[in-house]
Amino acid sequence: MKLNRENKLLIGLCTAAGILIIKLFGIQIVEDKYKLSAENNTMVYSTIYPTRGIIHDRNGNILVGNRVAYDLMVTPKEVEEFDTLALAEVLDVTPEAIKEKMDEFYRNRRRIGYQSVVMFKQLPPETYMKFAEVAYRFPGFRGQARSIREYPFNAGGNLLGYVSEVNSNYLAKHPDEYKAGDYAGMTGIEAAREKELRGEKGYNIWLRNSRNKIESRYQDGELDKEAVPGDDITTTIDATLQNYGQMLMNNKVGSLIAIEPSTGEILTMVSSPGIDVDMLANFGEHYNEILANPYKPMFNRTVQAPYPPGSVFKLVNGLIGLEEGVFTPSTTYPCSMGYHFGRSKLGCHEHKSPVNFEESIMMSCNAYYCYVLRGILENPKYEFIDDALDTWRRYVMSFGFGQKLGSDFPSELGGFIPDSKYYNRYYRKGGWKATTVISLSIGQGEIGCTPLHLANLCATIANRGHYYIPHIIKDSENVTIDPKYKERHYTLVDTTHFPKVIGGMYRAVNSGFGSGGTASIAAVEGLDICGKTGTAQNPHGHDHSVFICFAPRDNPKIAVAAYVENGGFGASYAAPIASLLTEMYLNGEIKDDRKALEKRMLEANLLDRVKVRK
Amino acid sequence: MRDLGGHRGRGLAKTIDWKLVICYLLLILIGWANIYAAVQADEPASIFDWSCRSGKQFIWILTSFGLATFILFALNPRVYEGLSTPIYIFTLGLLVAVIFLGIEVKGSRSWFEFGPVRFQPAEISKISTSLMLAAVMSRLGYKIGRVRDFIVTALIILVPMGIIVLQSETGSALVYVGFIFMLYREGLSGWFIFIAGMAILLFILTLTASPFVAILVMAGVGSLCMCLYSGRIKWWMIIGVPLITLMAFVPMILDKAVEAAEDAVVAEMVTEEGASTAEVASVAEENVEEDAEVPFIARVKPLYILLIALGILLPVAAYFSFREMNMFSQLALVAMVGGIMLVFSADFIFNKVLQDHQRKRIEVLLGMKEDPAGVGYNVNQSKIAIGSGGMFGKGYLNGTQTTFGFVPEQSTDFIFCTIGEEWGFFGCTLVILLYVFLIWRIIKNAERSREAFTRIYGYCVACCIFMHLFINIGMTIGLMPVIGIPLPLVSYGGSSLWAFTILIFIFIALDRNERKYF
């Protein structure tokens, strides 16, 4: 063959055709990725959602269970003309709602194609049964069973947390674990134990034919995957007590926490006002309503609100003073309606003077602790007050303050305990002295701690010097908790100093009215409650009422912290509420002579006192 | 045409190239069947249903047969040569008119609309240009090497091409580039094809690699050609190869040099101030960035060195080529300077001259941007459809990709997807081979022809079909950017089917005319 131009062109033609064929060979025979993509285009995965794990309380009661609700699905392409009025009546909705939905589906008909879409979510079984009877009259409509959350106890929305469909933010944070349409626990226990509770999704694989209609199971369902239900978990919560606490805190703003000191298990955790459990199951629908509530029910005060602890904090300062040796339990200090320094004065209420350590706790003397804090901060051991303050801070931190305790409850905040750097920044170095920061002595000023911190303090004292990290999940069949929750955490204060404090706390409650004890109202015969009141000054309105207590004095079973915003004196609301909770836990009932107190507490409404931005 | 009035010749059965006709029929049938496959999911109907595309295509096919019969039996093939000039001018008129009178479809003004019928003058223009080229180039005394003849020929091609570009139908205009193969057959220097190829290569290299690489490659190829032509291959091996290799390493060497220079600056400062190394290092680095006293070497770019080298070598080569009166080297030098200009204007052309969608298509093709959901969507879905066909395909009407509407334009420009998915590699190869046979046969017939007019026209037809074939299939499998031109005879569309029918059957008629008497 001559290599003339004709033949060169023919060779070129064959080469070009060859290139095309080789490339075709590449994508049609050699590479698999295009075939896989095509399979994705033709196989339809229908997800089987697992039922979430059940949440039990410590006694085996169900805190959060599941029940069946029905979504009304509609396949617009299969819908024939139907009696809108009849359907509306059966479903208990307005005909307009149905018409609106159908119009929406019609507008999106290209995108929907032969798919089914949700028309109404979470119909109760009764409604669904009514529909099922007449379903034959409505081709294209069907119900799809779905498991939703059910709450036998009003255990508080903030504690339990809510489950909702994941949004784009959540998806971005958990890219591989979740897909749009999945549900996940967003707050509280649901979020804390999402991994165990969620279970594993399954799927059925269907084949679409070339007309986009589902035709058959792929390989007869051989490759389908069953959904694995979520693991049940057991919490440390006592459902009855939680419920009672919820009732006590009704119409008050604040927190109520009870811990079992010997284990660190949280028995009760109430943040009030909370989210009603009736709203939890269908959280999405109530979301805006909850957000609009001026009392911020979504804000979990038990672990997120940094309050000044008030007089309760005197216990800590007392213990530190004893450990540092700046005074002894028998040291007495005078109090003349307060502590005078220079031209200033830190006021106190009227009580006998001078007082010793136990009496100072019993009567909550402010002046006594001004002496104590000055003793700590002006300790000649330390050359500079900076070192003294930082030492004090180390002690305080060893009680768990000023840091996240490491609880398994999500979104815990750490609070704040000032150090020398903080004051140096504020006043410059050397520009401040013990009297500058004297309000620290009575738990005011630059201190922020959460109610959980206070409850932990109470448990620490009840344990005579150590605490377990407060937690809400117990070991159970499927769940093993982190070993850190079983470790004792000792404070830097020697355990021998604690009995003195406890003596004071005992006398504060059990000395009887008229003795000067600040918490006589909390006394319950036979329970040996030990407690300490606090009244946290509030520049914005009524003072906050604070109380911590544990009982019984020996081998304590429960340690409680109550923080009632705008409740006034510690003895006004916090002490009664905490003592009622203690009594209920230990006795299972409220004694007759305290029924009136209980009634007053249950009915009290402090919401008007709370300043809110409406 | 029966034996009347002295016409004597062989009969119909022996004069018509039946193989070509059968090939034509097969392609049309394949197209029709696949159009039905592509549309039947959306509009489930009979293949003859007038309201869906397969039904309409059936009507186009029937009318095409009418046209073919008319061309074969009613028209004397002799008229084309004489009519080519009026047809050409008339078509040019249509092309211009459509810009003002046509309707806008997908951003281009290239369609006339008469009631339910649309037609695209650009399709006719292929025929008229082919006829005009054949008429002009078959004249006695025509020589493509003569400047005047060359310019006339170029104008015949470039004028309709330019107008079509103005209609924003760049794809259709690109087909005219294919005439270069016909010109080559008719004596155009092969270097034209070579230079065109080099220009495309340079453009792509500039965009994907860097101007440095593009110019280096051009210098290498250019110098090799010059040396080959003048028989100085030894020189090239001795001087050219080492020089180019050295140049290839320049960027790396420069990098090292800059690093070393910076280190030196840092070291100097350390000894001067005696401060801790870490501190000074950071200070020094800041200085390097901010200070006016950047080491000179850091400012030198590899491209500058290359340009300086070329700036010295090109004049030297020019001097020698003028002294030797070597026309080839002179032209080659001009071409190389042109190449350098192209490299520097590539960015400008790419960003300013090309339209946004065209730029994106090229970016996706060259892998400069991954965009499977956007511009890359068509190509990606098209590849998935074809790739999922495997060896023998999923069977007729069983394709899932094309029938679901995953692939856009599936009955027109992306019809090859349907073939690829439902008939597999086997079917694709068969279709491509049918086209190769068609083109091959046209070229062979053209070559055998005794009349230049028939030969040149035949080559024009072959070039048109080839360009459509390669661009269209290349596009569906990701070898070409997305250029919306139909697959001849197979894609849905009346204009295109009619145009190719006329194009091919004029050739069959011309061919038959020759067979009749020789």
Q: Please indicate whether, in this complex, the C-beta atoms of B477 and A23 are within 8 angstroms of each other.
A: yes
Measured between beta carbons, which residues in chain A are less than 8 angstroms from residue B385? 38
What token pair was written down for B502? 């006329």
- Per-residue model confidence (pLDDT) at position B374: 60
Q: Give the least confident one: A604-608, B190-194, B371-375.
A: B371-375
**Maximum average pLDDT range among B214-223, B263-272, B429-438:** B429-438
Element (H, E) at A377: helix A366-377
Q: Please indicate whether, in this complex, the C-beta atoms of B439 and A13 are within 8 angstroms of each other.
A: yes
What CA dihedral angle connects A259, A264, A270 and A271, to 10 degrees?
130
Residue B291 pLDDT > 70: no
Confidence of residue B461 (pLDDT cuts 50, 70, 90): very high
Minimal C-alpha gap between B257 and chain A (Å): 43
- State pLDDT tens for residues A304-315: 888 899 999 999
- Per-residue model confidence (pLDDT) at position B518: 61
Residue B276 pLDDT > 50: no
- State pLDDT tens for residues A28-83: 888 777 776 666 656 667 777 888 899 999 998 888 888 888 888 888 777 778 88
Q: Give the least confident one: A303-307, A439-443, B405-409.
A: B405-409
How many CB pairs (< 8 A) connect A and B? 105
Element (H, E) at B322: helix B302-323
Q: What distance separates the 2 farthest-apart alpha carbons in chain B?
A: 112
Closest to A275 measured CA to CA, from A147, A160, A412, A407 = A160
Q: Please indicate whether, in this complex, the C-beta atoms of B400 and A38 are within 8 angstroms of each other.
A: yes
Nearest to A13 among B386, B401, B436 (CB): B436
* Mean pLDDT confidence for A251-266: 93
Q: Please indicate whether, in this complex, the C-beta atoms of B41 and A20 are within 8 angstroms of each other.
A: no
Distance from C-alpha of A581 to C-alpha of A259, rounded to nearest angstrom: 11
Strands of A304-388 (E only): list them.
Answer: 338-341, 344-347
- Per-residue model confidence (pLDDT) at position B10: 62
- Per-residue model confidence (pLDDT) at position B369: 64
Distance from C-alpha of A255 to C-alpha of A247, rounded to nearest angstrom: 12
Q: What residue in B sits closest to A211 (Cα-Cα)?
A: B41
* Mean pLDDT confidence for B371-379: 64
Mean pLDDT rounded to a whole number for chain A: 86
Q: Please indicate whether, in this complex, the C-beta atoms of A28 and B398 are within 8 angstroms of each other.
A: no
- Per-residue model confidence (pLDDT) at position B272: 46
Nearest to A27 among B387, B432, B470 (CB): B387
Question: A49, A100 in Cβ contact below 8 A?
Answer: no
Indicate which of A2, A6, A11, A34 best probes the interface with B, i.e. most B CBs within 10 Å of its own CB. Answer: A34
Minimal C-alpha gap between A12 and chain B (Å): 10
Q: Please indicate whether, in this complex, the C-beta atoms of B440 and A13 are within 8 angstroms of each other.
A: yes
Q: Please indicate whether, in this complex, the C-beta atoms of B185 and A6 are within 8 angstroms of each other.
A: yes
- Per-residue model confidence (pLDDT) at position A254: 92
Minimal C-alpha gap between A264 and chain B (Å): 50
Measured between beta carbons, which residues in chain A are less than 8 angstroms from residue B439? 13
- Per-residue model confidence (pLDDT) at position B273: 43
| CA torsion through residues B365, B366, B372, B373, sign | negative
Residue B113 phi/psi, 5-degree rounding, is -125, 125
Confidence of residue B450 (pLDDT cuts 50, 70, 90): confident
Measured between beta carbons, which residues in chain B are less than 8 angstroms from residue A206? none
Residue B172 pLDDT > 70: yes
Nearest to B432 among A20, A31, A209 (CB): A20
Measured between beta carbons, which residues in chain B are less than 8 angstroms from residue A16? 466, 470
Q: Give the least confident one: A483-492, B86-95, B107-116, B442-451.
A: B107-116
* Interface pTM, i.e. ipTM: 0.82
Task: Tally the residues of chain B.
Answer: 518
Q: Please indicate whether, in this complex, the C-beta atoms of A28 and B41 are within 8 angstroms of each other.
A: no
Measured between beta carbons, which residues in chain B are less than 8 angstroms from residue A29? 390-391, 425
Q: What is the CA radius of gyration of chain B?
A: 29
Q: Give the least confident one: A16-25, A185-194, B43-52, B368-377.
A: B368-377
Q: Please indicate whether, in this complex, the C-beta atoms of B406 and A41 are within 8 angstroms of each other.
A: yes
Confidence of residue A529 (pLDDT cuts 50, 70, 90): very high
Indicate which of B191, B418, B477, B479 best probes the interface with A, i.e. most A CBs within 10 Å of its own CB. Answer: B477
Q: What residue in A sits closest to B391 (Cα-Cα)?
A: A29
Residue A199 pLDDT > 80: yes
Q: What residue in B sits closest to A12 (Cα-Cα)?
A: B181
State how far the alpha carbon of B247 is from the alpha carbons of A169, A181, B210, in Å: 52, 58, 14
Nearest to B429 among A5, A21, A209 (CB): A21
Q: Please indicate whether, in this complex, the C-beta atoms of B181 and A12 are within 8 angstroms of each other.
A: yes
Minimal C-alpha gap between B280 and chain A (Å): 31
Measured between beta carbons, which residues in chain A are less than 8 angstroms from residue B196? none
Measured between beta carbons, which residues in chain B are less than 8 angstroms from residue A17? 432-433, 435-436
Q: Please indicate whether, in this complex, the C-beta atoms of A28 and B389 are within 8 angstroms of each other.
A: yes
Q: By a Cβ cutoff of 8 Å, what residues of chain A touch chain B?
A: 5-6, 9-10, 12-14, 16-17, 19-21, 23-25, 27-29, 31, 33-35, 37-39, 41-42, 208-212
- Per-residue model confidence (pLDDT) at position A466: 94
Minimal C-alpha gap between B271 and chain A (Å): 39
Question: A399, A457 in Cβ contact below 8 A?
Answer: yes
Q: Please indicate whether, in this complex, the C-beta atoms of A210 and B425 are within 8 angstroms of each other.
A: no
Q: Give the least confident one: A234-243, A383-392, A484-493, B509-518.
A: B509-518
For B212-261, give the secondary structure using H, E and C: HHHHHHHHHHHHHHHHHHCCCHHHHHHHHHHHHHHHHHHHHHHHHHHHHH
Distance from C-alpha of B358 to C-alpha of A524, rounded to nearest angstrom: 86
- State pLDDT tens for residues B325-337: 777 778 888 888 8
Residue B7 pLDDT > 60: no
Q: Is the model more confident about B28 or about B165?
A: B28
Minimal C-alpha gap between B298 and chain A (Å): 42
Q: Please indicate whether, in this complex, the C-beta atoms of A211 and B403 are within 8 angstroms of each other.
A: yes
Residue B429 pLDDT > 50: yes
Residue B428 pLDDT > 60: yes
Minimal C-alpha gap between B363 and chain A (Å): 20
Indicate which of B388, B425, B475 best probes the interface with A, i.e. most A CBs within 10 Å of its own CB. Answer: B388
Minimal C-alpha gap between A14 and chain B (Å): 7
Helices B190-208, B211-229: inter-axial angle, 10-degree rounding: 160
- Give the CB-side neighbour count of residue A192, counting CA atoms within 13 A: 24
Collapsed DSSP state (helix, strand, coil) of residue B288: helix
Closest to B387 measured CA to CA, from B417, B415, B408 = B417
Distance from C-alpha of A112 to C-alpha of A212, rounded to nearest angstrom: 11
Distance from C-alpha of B240 to C-alpha of A133, rounded to nearest angstrom: 90
Question: A534, A570 in Cβ contact below 8 A?
Answer: yes
- Per-residue model confidence (pLDDT) at position B130: 95
Measured between beta carbons, which residues in chain B are less than 8 angstroms from residue A42? 400-401, 404
